[in-house]
Amino acid sequence: MMQQYAIDIRALDFAYEAEQVLTGIELSVKLGEFLAIIGPNGGGKTTLLRLMLGILPKQSGSISINGLEPTQARRFIGYVPQCTTIRPDFPASVLDTVLMGGATSSLTGGKWDTSKKARQTAGDYLTTLGLAGVMHRPLHALSGGQRQRALVARALMSRVEDAPFTLLLDEPTSSIDPQGKFCFYDFLNKLRGLVTIVVVSHDLMLASPFFSSIAFVNNTLTRLPGGALTPELLISLYGSHQHLCPVADLQHAQGLSHSEGCTHPTCAPFAADSVQMADFFSSPSPKPETGAISAPYPH
């Protein structure tokens, strides 16, 4: 029996006029998978996402979302943008904002369901995402992490029950602090299996056990084995860190070696068993010093 894919991309090329952005992209994402797409700025990640959404027309190759062309599959796709500006005087509550995600177009303008069933569905999503206690508060009163979770709930409102659904997120944690990022992906993980999730980011800190797989995009696409970035993979993808910069200062402060050419006492001589830059990104955070505040992050 042929495996059904939520996303199936074959031989995809894309260029902006004379600038080739994506070349020979091959990507198959299984139903219910939690995929992270990483890569450097300008590598083509957001372009690939826009092609999946049907915002950009494909120039060659094929893209299938839940068995349909992107423009035909929009009712089966939820989208969370990189950031959303919220006016302080915007009168909608969190619940109202989520309900808007179920809007349908008509000749008289967009409208959305506010029935008891729709409100129950919105409430269920907000509960799953840890926002049940703030659903009646104004959206602008939420923290950055809470607001992004509310936007995830809004995106899910277009989901049709028992139908495949794909959730696409573009740099969703760009305005969230490091602790909040972990909490955000922890909440997303609760949706695993219910929907297919694709997160696009350049943030290496995203390497985590939440993802079922990771793809690296920089003009071409490389599917990485497993759901975690190993030191060896990071070095092969990005190379060793060979120059002094704030990252190097951070490495020195942590007592970590980062470059064979560095003359800092931490790095010279460069020991064969020293910890390299990639290890820093894939290692657990250091334990707080005695007396440091280590209270859990407030969801």
Residue by residue, DSSP assigns 134-193 as: GTTSBGGGS-HHHHHHHHHHHHHTTPPTTS--EEEEESTTTTS-HHHHHHHHHHHHTTBT
Q: Of 88-92, 183-187, 239-243, which gets the smallest average pLDDT?
A: 239-243
Helix (H) or strand (E) holding 86: none
pLDDT at position 275 is 41
Mean pLDDT, all residues of the chain: 78
pLDDT at position 288 is 40
Measure the CA–CA gap between 198 and 209, rounded to whole angstroms: 15
pLDDT at position 233 is 64
Whether residue 283 is predicted with pLDDT greater than 60 in this model: the reply is no
Go through 232-270 and write b for each residue having 16 or more CB atoms within 10 A of its CB, e for each that does not: ebbeebbeebeeeeeebeebbeeebbbbeebeeebbeee
pLDDT tier at 236, thresholds 50, 70, 90: low
Whether residue 237 is predicted with pLDDT greater than 80 in this model: the reply is no
Question: CB burial class (10 A; 0-12, 13-18, 19+) of residue 284?
Answer: exposed
pTM for the whole structure: 0.74
Whether residue 292 is predicted with pLDDT greater than 70 in this model: the reply is no
pLDDT tier at 273, thresholds 50, 70, 90: very low
pLDDT at position 39 is 85
- CA 199 to each of CA 19, 158, 214: distance values in angstroms, whole numbers, following the listed order: 25, 18, 10
pLDDT, greater one: 289 or 181: 181
pLDDT tier at 26, thresholds 50, 70, 90: very high
Q: Name 291's Cβ contacts closer than 8 Å, sequence gap at least 6.
A: none
User: Residues 159-167: what's their mean pLDDT?
Assistant: 87
